[in-house]
């Protein structure tokens, strides 16, 4: 079974703190994604990585950065957390190729910024 | 750019009944995939069913089936004999077909979701 894990299920941080959310997958997937999930807005892509050290901005990258130093690990960084970044954050991974399409999701991290 | 619209924020149905969740999308692409993902309360999101646009036959997976209308750009999910375990958020999603030039880096576009509650 594919497994995507996230470092925390719940996180509470203060405004201005630097926040690290980590995601690890165990299926040697090339592609990894960070989404933000908000009620009424669905899932919005923050950043995407298609290989080690490679990244691409998604639809809402402002206020976020990412790091992928190893294939299995993809980190989302909030350089200076703000209250409008309170949300559910979902990580996902997928093989890169012409015959694969299913994305596997982590359990999510519910981040509260006070 | 693609858009995916789910017009039913919430739905509820009695256990054992059939329910249909709606999804429409907008794209200029001819080749693409459509998906329904399920997110149970406090659990991980999982793929329920997928449809390739080039296939005319509607996809089915046990109690789950889709009604794919390519010309109308409609992709609804039907759940038959609904069970308590079907209670979840359901997301419709779109992805362009893989292109060699893009190295398989296509991304999903999600709808806003439908919260489905199965009533005992």
**DSSP annotation of A8:** -
How confident is the model at residue B1, as a pLDDT? 81
Q: Say how many domains are in chain B.
A: 1
Give the range of the structural domain holding residue B92, as residue numbers without chain letter.
3-119
First-last CA distance in chain A: 37
Phi, psi of B101 (to 5 degrees): -65, -20
How confident is the model at residue A96, as a pLDDT? 79
| Chain A contacts to B (CB-CB under 8 A) | 4, 30-31, 33, 40-45, 48, 50, 56, 58, 90, 95-98, 100-103, 105-108
Give the range of the structural domain holding residue A55, as residue numbers without chain letter.
4-97+106-113
Q: What is the dihedral of CA A108, A87, A82, B6, to 10 degrees?
A: 130
Handedness of CA B88, B94, A65, A68 (dihedral sign): positive
Q: In what helix (H) or strand (E) does residue A28 lie, and over which residues does it extend?
A: none
What is the domain-level CATH number for residue B87? Answer: 2.60.40.10
> What is the distance in angstroms between the Cα of A27 and the nearest Cα belonging to chain B?
16
How confident is the model at residue B103, as a pLDDT? 63
What is the domain-level CATH number for residue A39? Answer: 2.60.40.10
**Beta strand A87-94 pairing with A104-105:** antiparallel
- CA dist A74 and B23 (Å) reads 31
Q: Which residues of B touch A98 (CB under 8 A)?
A: 98, 100, 104
**DSSP annotation of B97:** P
More confident call, B46 vs A1? B46
Contact A43 B105 (CB under 8 A): no
Model confidence over A66-92: pLDDT tens digits? 999 999 999 999 999 999 999 999 999
**Beta strand B109-110 pairing with B88-96:** antiparallel
Percentage of the residues of chain A whose pLDDT score is greater than 90: 88
How confident is the model at residue A2, as a pLDDT? 67
The segments of chain B whose pLDDT lies below 70 read 99-104
User: Three-state SS for B85?
Assistant: helix
How confident is the model at residue B105, as a pLDDT? 72
How many residues does this entry show for chain A?
A: 114
Q: What are residue B12's DSSP bridge partners?
A: B117
Q: Say how many domains are in chain A.
A: 1
Residue recorded with tokens 């999982």? B46
């Amino acid at each position: 079974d594919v497994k995507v894990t996230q470092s925390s299920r719940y996180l509470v941080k203060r405004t201005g703190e630097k926040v690290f959310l980590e995601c690890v997958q165990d299926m040697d997937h090339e592609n990894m994604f960070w989404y933000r999930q908000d009620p009424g807005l669905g899932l919005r892509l923050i950043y995407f990585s298609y290989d080690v050290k490679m990244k691409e901005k998604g639809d809402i990258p402002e206020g976020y950065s990412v790091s992928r130093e190893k294939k299995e690990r993809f980190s989302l960084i909030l350089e200076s957390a703000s209250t409008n970044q309170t949300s559910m954050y979902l990580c996902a991974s997928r093989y890169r190729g012409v015959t694969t399409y299913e994305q596997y999701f982590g359990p999510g991290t519910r981040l509260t910024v006070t | 750019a693609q858009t995916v619209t789910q017009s039913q924020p919430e739905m509820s149905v009695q256990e054992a009944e059939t329910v249909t969740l709606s999804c429409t999308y907008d794209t200029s692409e001819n080749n693409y995939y459509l998906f329904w993902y399920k997110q149970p309360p406090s659990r991980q999101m999982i793929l329920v069913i997928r449809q390739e646009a080039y296939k005319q036959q509607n996809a089915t997976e046990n109690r789950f089936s889709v009604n794919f209308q390519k010309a109308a750009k409609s992709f609804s999910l039907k759940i038959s004999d609904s069970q308590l375990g079907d209670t979840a958020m359901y997301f419709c999603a779109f992805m362009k077909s893989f292109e060699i030039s893009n190295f398989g880096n296509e991304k999903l576009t999600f709808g806003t979701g439908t919260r489905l509650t199965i009533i005992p």
